[in-house]
Amino acid sequence: MLMRIVRKHKAWISLFVFLVLAGTVLLVAPWRESAEVSEKQVPASNPLLIEFRSMAEELVYVDPHRARELAKKGLEFADAEGDNIKEAIFSHLIGNTYLYQGRNEEALAFFHRYLELALQENNPVHTGNAYGSLGLAYSSVRNYKDAVDLLHKSARIHEQNQQYRNASITLNNLGRIYFNIDDLENAFDYFRQAYSLAYHNEHDLALMAISNHLGMYYQKKNMPDSALHYFDDALAYASNNNYGQIIIHNNIGDFHLEMLNFEDAVHHYELSDSLSTEHQYVTTDCFPQAGLANAYHRMGDIESAYKHAKRAYTRAAVTENDDLYHIAHETLAGIYHSKGDFLGAYEHHKAATGIRARIYEESEFFQVYRVEIESLSEQMEVTQLEVEQQELLLSRRQNAIILIVIASFSLLAMLSLLYYSYLQRMKQKQKEKLHESRIRYTMEKNFAVMEAETSERKRLASDLHDGIGTQLSLVKLTLSNILNKKNLEGEKRDLLLSNTVHHINEVINEVRQISNTMTPITLAEKGFKEAVKELVSRYKRLKSHTIALSISGVQDTIKPFIEHAIYRTMQEIINNALKHADCTQIDIQIIQNKDEFTLMIEDDGKGFDTQQVTNNKGFGLKQATSRIEGLNGQLYIDSMPGRGTIVTISLPLNNAINETAG
């Protein structure tokens, strides 16, 4: 019971211990802690260890394998000497070599050892650095929740110990995480804090990284002038940092590529590649090649794009970095698609998806270490508390300390109660807002469904009235004439009867057409694959457009109502392209595997502003989106004026709807 209470209120207990210990330090020995910290921050000089460390640090970006070998030799010497601080430094360096290669599990193991040694030595500088490195490792596998928690710990420790340069780097890394999840407001706030600390402490390395991130931030905010300003600042701060220049030139290339300034994009990618090749930075030379491939791809030079994409893939293989492999596969997938090699595009896209899934799976492995980190921190806090309690018992100012403890505890209890009450109110407000948002979203979806049903009924009523109703009226009129005019001659009577049969045939065709529109007969009789082929054949008869169809892996295992939803959505998208896109070529690709159904429709039309369509969707697009989202799927639109349109539908096949419906 006691341990559950301690875990639940660990943050408050830690704050209380901090206040008590702070009072103890101020009253008992204000000089002692600073002396111990300064001694532990700087390991004793050993020429051989210094040489190993210096050489390894220089080779981290150039040759991580060689850097790791040197650092491991240094680690052996440090272990033989029994010096925990030296062992911690080399463990940290080895972890960095693994991190830059994307080998996150190995990096995590050495960073965990680094934290353990730093806590054993009660060294706040290395402890803060260890939490920061662990945060980066968690961020690399997209476990942003734990990454943010660890980086916050790192920032607090550095700020408490006035290590403002380290704090600025940690805050910058926090901003990058929020930037990655598109929380631009929080990202900018952390970048601003980091910039202020780095600027006042003249930390050019941090200013370079922060300015680069601010350029990316303003790029995403669609403020190109501000983005270029900060990219230029970043290059200025990186004047003596080759690695930084490589990354920044590559980011500027990305910026110009997004702005469709292809020549400028190619220029900066080539600068990045030239620097990376000149200084043999194997951890970075994949990025500019991937950028050049994308640039030439966008420019329509498919052969050049393919050449650079293959180079990116080859260079990724040198580092064995999953992130770089993912970039190379994604780039090649797009190029193969443009070349019309849909199988090749699918294979590379599948490989990229597998790599991304493997990176995410690593986060589960990291959870084990997360528990160990918390346990290690708690054990060290308990040990430290016991030691300081013994010192308090021996202190000459025992009575004064007891009074401070009582007063601090009372004040903290009151503040804790007030703050806990405040947090509860804030949580309740957040729950209410979330509930309101869910209700509003549900209502919007219901309205969309109601609008779709109403429109469908109106269309059906109109078809029945204008088509079938008119034809039946003619049939009735003709039959009435025959019945009323008994003396009709044989030829006239036969003509009227022939017209009646003709009108009845038209009614039958009209009924069949309406029925096929509502639920295609081919879909029910021949299955989804044949229905799609027949639909494409009907569109091909128009002869004003070229339509290509590729179907892979489609099985007769999908529920009929899901097939119908996909079929109707496909009709809507193709009709929109034919009516509004001014296109001449439409490529349709359908892929099904065990877990997912993917439909991709691409046209070479005039394109449109997706933001404008998102804010003001037409009825057909609303209906299609609502239909797919109702099946727990997603509909993505990738378009730009003058570039054509790609509509991708991703539908999970193992969700609750597919398993239980029907």
Tokens encoding 264: 């400028």
User: Which pLDDT value is given to residue 320?
Assistant: 63
Neighbour count for residue 397 (Cβ, 10 Å): 13
User: Which pLDDT value is given to residue 456?
Assistant: 62
Residue type, 643: R
Residue 661 sits at φ, ψ, to 5 deg, of -75, 160
Q: What is the mean pLDDT of the chain?
A: 76
Question: Is residue 335 a contact partner of residue 290, using CB atoms and an 8 Å limit?
Answer: no
**269 Cβ contact partners less than 8 Å away, ≥ 6 residues apart:** 249, 250, 253, 288, 291, 292, 295
| Least confident interval from 70-74, 455-459, 466-470, 632-636 | 455-459
DSSP state for residue 43 in the 8-state scheme: P
> Tens digit of pLDDT for each residue in 353-398?
876 666 555 555 445 445 455 655 555 555 555 555 666 666 666 6
**473 Cβ contact partners less than 8 Å away, ≥ 6 residues apart:** none
Three-state secondary-structure class, residue 600: strand
Average pLDDT (456-479) is 68
User: Which pLDDT value is given to residue 264?
Assistant: 92
Burial profile 18-51: b = 16 or more Cβ within 10 angstroms, e = fewer: ebbbebbeeebeeeeeeeeeeebeebeebeebee
CA-based nearest residue to 242, from 191, 214, 284: 284
H helices present in 122-163, as ranges: 124-140, 144-160
Task: Please state the three-class secondary structure of 359-392 as a single string.
Answer: HHHHHHHHHHHHHHHHHHHHHHHHHHHHHHHHHH
Measure CA of the first residue to CA of the last residue in the chain; give whole Å. 49
CA distance 458 to 74: 80
Query: In the predicted model, is pLDDT for residue 588 greater than 90?
Result: yes
> Tens digit of pLDDT for each residue in 324-336?
767 778 888 888 8
Average pLDDT (320-324) is 66
CA distance 581 to 621: 14
CA-based nearest residue to 227, from 256, 186, 185: 256
| Least confident interval from 60-69, 274-283, 562-571, 653-662 | 653-662
| Least confident interval from 14-18, 236-240, 302-306, 426-430 | 14-18
Query: In the predicted model, is pLDDT for residue 433 greater than 90?
Result: no
User: Which pLDDT value is given to residue 410?
Assistant: 83
Residue 589 sits at φ, ψ, to 5 deg, of -130, 125
CA distance 158 to 150: 13
> Tens digit of pLDDT for each residue in 202-237?
888 889 999 999 999 999 999 999 999 999 999 999
Tokens encoding 211: 């300015």
| Class of the CATH-defined domain 525-660 | alpha beta
On whether the 246-340 domain is CATH 1.25.40.10, my answer is: yes
CA distance 103 to 97: 9
